[in-house]
Chain A
Amino acid sequence: MSYQTNTSQPGASPAGLSSSDRWREWVDRHAGTFFIAPAVSLILIFAIFPTIYSMVFALSRVRFTGDGLKFRYVGLRNFEKQFFGSSEVHFLGRTEPFSIFGMLVFAVIVVAVLWWLYRSWKTATWVRMLGRSISAAMAIFLGYILCASLLSGNAIGTLYTTLFYVLVGCFVQFVIGTGLAFLCSQPIRGRNFFRVLFFIPLMVTPLGVGFAMRMIADVTKGPFEPILGVLGLQDWVWSASPWSARFVMMICDSWQWIPFIFICMLAALENVPRDHVEAAQVDGASSFHIFREVTWPQVVPVAVTVLLIRAIEAFKIMDLPNIMTGGGPGSSTESMTLHSVYVWRANDMGSSAAIAYLLLILTVVVCASFFNYVVLGQIRKTRA
């Protein structure tokens, strides 16, 4: 890409070429730059630059003064606080005491991860080995926190609350969404009607979903109040216990996101050639067998890609817990985004940026691992 042009001098141009022609020609010669420059510069200015700038926040103590922000470099202290300091319980959960069961599970996890790493030791190049080591380190870290907090009977922090929304939420949404898509892909009447109807929740504002769900889940004014009365649960409040609050949150998130899985999987299922299915039917295969042997292998690449997209969006969850519980009871429904927002409101901008950065690292490592080991593997398998 060179910016040199020798037609810019008047009089040097060949006869018959007006200046507007020359201008057109110059633009056309550099069309490659003009096509991509707006997108690249937008991303550089509004995504890459702030991401690097955010690191300065995370490494500093930030104060508001009369003439703007004042930064004082404090090293990794903001990150240290999340792992060993004052907000350890908030972020990681309680990790003491470590129960015997937790230790056993942790040992199994470590052995499995190291075995996986050892197996790829001989074949992989050093770049891939580096990637695998990062994935393995993340897996061991997450495994340690899981065993020390949840499996030892302790409370979990915002890290595992986020992961709960992502992992359990994605699983539930994927199963229900794919099931609905399978039902809708059957030769039935009114398929288009159901398609439009089931798609709607995805488009509704997440805030609106939060309010609607909060209203519906209200135990005194909500529509299920008589049902709870019949079941003898008048005094039960879902928002008072951490796990029921998390599950309600996950169900409401699913109401919104199942349509996404549904619509993508339905398009994929309809793309499976009908004559394959009908040939299997003529051969007398049961519908379960047809699904497992004919349909499923053809939609797996789409399925894993859809899961990846869903997981990427799920890491950003914020509106629902903010509206429905405000993160409570305590901090048990706070996602990491919400955690960061609350810390920011408490004027601790350094810690807020540090938590946001930890979320970025977590998202990138988990999604990149999933992409490399699952999505690419499936795509290669179907291409081969």
Chain B
Amino acid sequence: MSGAHTKFDLQNRGLLEKMFEPPAVGKMAPVAKIVVYSFLAIWSLFVLFPIYWVIITSFKDAAAVNQGPSYFPFVDFQPTLDAWRINFTADPYCDMAAIARQLYLLAHNSVAFVLSPVVTIPPMEPQICKIYLAFTNSVVISIISTIFCVAVGSMAAYALARIQYRPKFGNIMIFVLLIVGVILATTYAGVPWWMSSAVALALFFFLARALGRHFKMSLGNGDILFWMISQRILPPIVVVVPLYVMFQAVRLLDTHLALILLYAVANLPIVVWLMHDFFANLPIELEESAQLDGATRFGIFWEIVMPLTRPGLAATTLLILVLNWNEYLFAVFLSTVKVQTMPIMVAAKNTGEKGVLWWEMCAVTVVMIIPVIIMAVLLTRFISKGVLLGAVKG
């Protein structure tokens, strides 16, 4: 500054000026600092208090909750582990080997499912206590579904950023009409669903080959991208009842596969939206030179493009993982016994005969939110570097 401007002349300032004027450019005045810190502190309390309350309630017993509020462990109530014991060890099958057993069961049932057209292997029934079952289910479903969703979504996003597509408008209309035909035939005329869809698929390929060249209007990559992203607008309640009927028809109700597929589809728009932005911002020269060296598209994608977008990929994966972990509506409609997830376990504590058992419910909630808080801390590190900002700018 070299003292050219009197406003920032540090030596000749009165007390009021010292309090209300910033000491240097890019610094804050002391009073402003106090105001900012007090607002942030108030908001921190507002954020932390519900979480704190859930955690301390999980260490209370029925008496401590029903007496009225008590705020500090060891000061105005005696913490116990009752709620944790009821949830995690009271069930006869609850021990640490239970998780291993559940994983074995999953593997067994998956093999049985894959081989079911060839040989019939009786599926194992779950033998362990509900909470471990739900926890392993949640972990398995959200991780597999996240990997699947990110893989499929980033492939589509990459293709939309680099390859030109020109789907004919007429072909799309034919496809929609055929879907309507399949639905009408199945619901009102009683044709088996597999027969009508096979006929419709064959008809579509035939008609698209025969009539496709006569259609003039076609869509571009931007339209496809917009179509994919706009799927997020669709409220899940619209599709959940038809999906129930569909999964019932193919006997996939109450299986891991159904939830994995649905979670992946629900989050696909987010993946495509975020990843498309990362791919579009990569320099294209690298890929062009790799192509000249004879690399295939898939080789370029896996070995050059994906490593370059690693921060974006990690941030997207974490975000989807959290969304999958918390998903409730699909789980409550499509799972009955075997694939209950953690959110359902939490919700189930709402309907006890003795009213809501706050302390038990809090213990389950704490187990649910601890992994999420760890992921939130990891995710903010990416967001603070502006990794996810590009897509929001549109």
Contacts and interface: CB of A to CB of B under 8 A. Distances in A.
| The 6 A-B residue pairs with the shortest CB-CB distance in the complex, in nearest-first order | A35-B159, A39-B156, A31-B297, A50-B239, A50-B242, A53-B242
Interface range on chain B: under 10, 10 to 19, 20 to 34, or 35 or more?
A: 35 or more
A53 B347 CA distance: 29
Contacts of B44: 194, 197-198
Question: What class of interface size applies to chain A in its complex with B?
Answer: 35 or more
A205 B343 contact: yes
A223 B369 contact: no
A43 B235 CA distance: 14
A117 B261 CA distance: 44
Most buried by A among B8, B48, B236, B297: B297
Nearest to A227: B69
B57 interface: yes
Contacts of B27: 187
State the majority secondary structure of interface residues on B: helix
B322 A203 contact: yes
A271 B358 contact: no
B394 A375 contact: yes
20 contacts: A27-B296, A32-B297, A38-B155, A46-B265, A53-B245, A60-B187, A71-B188, A194-B44, A197-B48, A203-B372, A203-B373, A205-B328, A208-B369, A211-B346, A215-B53, A216-B53, A274-B26, A284-B7, A318-B237, A353-B241
A357 B28 contact: no
Nearest to A46: B265
Given A197-B48, A360-B238, A39 B153 contact: yes
A111 interface: no
Interface of B: 5, 7-8, 22, 25-28, 32-33, 36-37, 39-40, 43-44, 46-51, 53-54, 57, 65-66, 68-69, 71, 152-153, 155-156, 158-160, 163, 165, 176, 179-180, 183-184, 187-188, 224, 228, 231-239, 241-243, 245-246, 261-262, 264-265, 268, 272, 296-298, 301, 322, 325-326, 328-329, 342-343, 346-347, 349-350, 356, 358, 361-362, 365, 368-369, 372-373, 375-377, 379-380, 383-384, 386, 388-389, 392-394
A205 B372 contact: yes
Contacts of B383: 195, 199, 263, 267
A89 interface: no
A136 interface: no
Contacts of A214: 356
A306 B350 CA distance: 33
Nearest to B205: A3
Question: Which of A39, A47, A216: most chain B Cβ within 10 A?
Answer: A39
Interface stretch (A7-15, A79-87, A118-126, A336-344): A336-344
